[in-house]
Amino acid sequence: MKRVLLAYMIYLLAIWIFFPFFYTEWNDDVSTYASIGHAVYFSRLPLLPLFLYVVWKNDKLQKIAAAMENRLPKLVATASYMLLFTTVYGIVQLPFRLAGYWNARQAQISVQNFWDWAGEYVLSLFLFYLAVTAVVLISQYLMKRFRKNWWILLWVLLVPSAIFFVYVQPMWIDPLYEDFYHLPDGELRTEIEQLTSEAGIPDATLLEVDKSAKTVTYNAYVTGLFGSARVVLYDTTVDGLAQDEILFIVAHEIGHYVLHHVYWGTAGFLVLGFVLLWVTKKLSDKLLAKRQISAHQLRAVPLFLLILSSLQFASEPVSLYVSREMERQADAYALEHAPDTEAGIHMFRNMQQVSKGDPNPWPLFEWLRSTHPSNQERIETIESYQENR
C-alpha cells in the first residue's frame, strides 16, 4: 500500500510540474487557467480508486466496519459506516476541490463566494451520502437473499435510477442548487419557440437559470424524457451573447433532444452497467473468498466500490468518445436549423474568450477528459460547412 501511495505522490508531482510549467510553453493557445484545470482534473482522476484501495487494504478500517456490524442494527451500522466513509472521502478530495475553486476565482471565471461554494460542496456530499447508503443497503439485501443472481436484480434497478437522474433530477434536485425562471416574453422567446415548434416539441418548457452569481461562462442545455423537454439557458448566455448566437446554442441543444441522445445515453448507461456488474460479481467472488468475507457484509463494500470505480475509470475514454460524437451530431443539426451559421463561429469564439478553456487540447487529453470537441475543431467544422454548402 505504501508503494501505491508513493506512486501517487510521484504522479502528482509530475502532473503539477508538467501542466503549469511545460504544457503552457508547448501549447501557445492554452491559458494558465486551462493548464491548472488540467492539473486539478488529472490529480483527481485516480483518486477514488486509490482511496477505495487504501480502505480495502487497511486492517484497522476493516475492523471498524466489522465492529459496527456486530454491535449495531443493520440499518444503523450501514448508515454510520457510510457516513464515516463519505466524510473521509470528502476531506481527502477537498484540497483538489479547493484548488479548482481557487483557479476559477483567480481567472475570474467563478464569481461565487467561498461560503456559498462550501455550502454546495457539503450539500453534494450529503446527497451523495444518501444515495450511496441507499444503494449499499439495497445491494446488501439482494446479496444476502440472492447470492448468485444479485447482480442481475441490481442491474434491473438501474432502469428506474436512470429515469430518475434524467427526468426527476432536473426538476427536483437541480433547483436545490440554482434558481430557475420562465424565459420572459419577447423576441428571443418567440424565436426559440419557432425552433422548438419546427423540431416537433412545441410544448417545451423554456427556462432561464441564475448562473451569474457563480460564473461568467455561457451555456445552455435541454433535459427531459417522454415529451417533457426543458430548454434551459444560463442568464449569462442571455445577457452576454447576441440573439443569433443564442439561437445557434439552442438549435444545438434541441439537436440532442431530437436525435434522442438522452435515450441513447440511457441505453449505453444500462449496457455498461450490465457489463460492470457482471465483471464485479466475478472478481468479487474470488477476492472475498480469500478473506472469508460474505458479499453482504460491510467489510465488502470498499471492494465492490473499488472494482466498480476502477472499471468505470477504464471505460471512461469510450464514454467520452461517444459524448463527443453526440456533440458533433448536435452541431450538425444546428448548422441545418439555426437561422445563422456564421453566428456559430462568433459564439464559439466568445465562449472561448470567456471560459478560457483549452481551445485545442492534445489528443491524449481530449481522449481522457473532453466531453465535447475542441472549440477550434467546432469552428473549423462550421467554416467547412459554409464552404461546401
Catalytic residues: 253
Closest CA to 191 of 121, 268, 120, 251: 251
- DSSP class per residue in 84-134: HHHHHHHHHHHHHHHHHHHHHHHTTSB---HHHHHHHHHHHHHHHHHHHHH
pLDDT value of position 307: 96
Look at residue 140 in the predicted model and tell me its pLDDT. 94
Low-confidence ranges of the chain (pLDDT < 50): none
Q: Is 10 exposed, middle or buried (0-12, 13-18, 19+ CB in 10 A)?
A: exposed
pTM of the predicted structure, to 2 decimals: 0.90
Q: How far is CA 71 from CA 75, 145, 152, 234, 295, in A?
A: 12, 22, 31, 50, 19
β-pair type (230-234, 220-223):
antiparallel
Q: 205-209 and 230-234: which strand pairing? A: parallel
Q: State how far the alpha carbon of 320 is from the alpha carbons of 44, 162, 314, in Å.
A: 17, 18, 11
| CB neighbourhood size of 75 (10 A) | 10
CA angle 120, 109, 121 (to 5 degrees): 10
